[in-house]
Amino acid sequence: MAHELTVSGQRGLPKTIQAVVFDFDDTLADTLQARVHAMRKTFEWAGITEPSADDFVQAQRGIPLAVSLGGFEAAQGLEKGMLQMYRSAYWVKQPGLLSLLDGVSELVDGLRTAGMPMGILTSKSRDIVVEGRAAGTLVELAELGLGWLGPTTVGYEDVKLPKPHPEGLLRLLAQLGVSPEQALVVGDSYADIQTARNAGCWSCLAGWGVPAHERELDRAMPDVIAEHPSALRGLLGLD
């Protein structure tokens, strides 16, 4: 069923949830079109034909771009420059390539009305300047009408150790004023689920943001899987 919530871990349903931490890409926002478009430009600039830019974007789900592109350049024996090219192609883009995923607006608005603390933990930059223009997750949040989540957003430049290390998540939980066992982490990637586990939080795989054949459930092992944002309403006390 489209709005099903499946218990996949051994702990059962998450209990006493007092805060929710979301990933951004493919969890709250559909940014795939913009990411693939920018990566195609980057691969064309670098003369890369294998793998395809589309496959590279899918394979790097949840990994900070500075890490994935840096490792790729080293493996290919290329000079550094792909990250800068990608950033220019991605961040200096026209508005309208992003959208909230179906059901996300209703879920976060309901949680906000209910007074549930929320935050965002992303592997993307939070607040940067690219070619003289403001860029980063804060800009995208504002474009999508979620600018009010900006103060509780932790990005790549805010931590020394990115996902799946729990540094950023623990920092965010301290800001939200909740303990790990009171928090639910919602994300689409193995990195999101492992970050939750490393911090001692409950975890939910955002099934609406990742096709079933890409879920890596043998690695991720989330506590629950939600096939649509509305599946979390009951769990979070909104019904």
| Confidence band, pLDDT 50/70/90 cuts, at residue 187 | very high
Reply yes or no on whether the pLDDT at 221 is more than 80.
yes
Specify whether the CB–CB gap between 132 and 32 falls below 8 A: no
Higher pLDDT, 50 or 167: 167
Query: What is the value of pTM for the model shown?
Result: 0.90
DSSP 10: S
Q: What's the pLDDT tens digit per position in 95-127?
A: 778 999 999 999 999 999 999 999 999 999 999
Reply yes or no on whether the pLDDT at 17 is more than 60.
yes
Mean pLDDT of 61-82: 83
Q: How many C-beta atoms surround the C-beta of residue 51 within 10 A? A: 13
| Confidence band, pLDDT 50/70/90 cuts, at residue 1 | very low
Mean pLDDT of 62-86: 85
Q: What is the percent of the chain where pLDDT is above 90?
A: 68
Residue 94 CB partners (closer than 8 Å, separation 6+): none
**112: its two tokens:** 């906000």
CATH assignment of 5-30+98-232, given 3.20.20.70, 3.40.50.1260, 3.40.50.1000, 3.40.50.1360?
A: 3.40.50.1000
Reply yes or no on whether the pLDDT at 73 is more than 50.
yes
Residue 97 CB partners (closer than 8 Å, separation 6+): 31, 33, 34, 37
Q: Distance (Å, rounded) from C-alpha 117 to C-alpha 168?
A: 16
Give the start-to-end residue ranges of the domains of the chain.
Answer: 5-30+98-232, 32-91
Q: Distance (Å, rounded) from C-alpha 23 to C-alpha 176?
A: 16
Q: Distance (Å, rounded) from C-alpha 108 to C-alpha 85?
A: 33
Q: How many C-beta atoms surround the C-beta of residue 60 within 10 A? A: 19
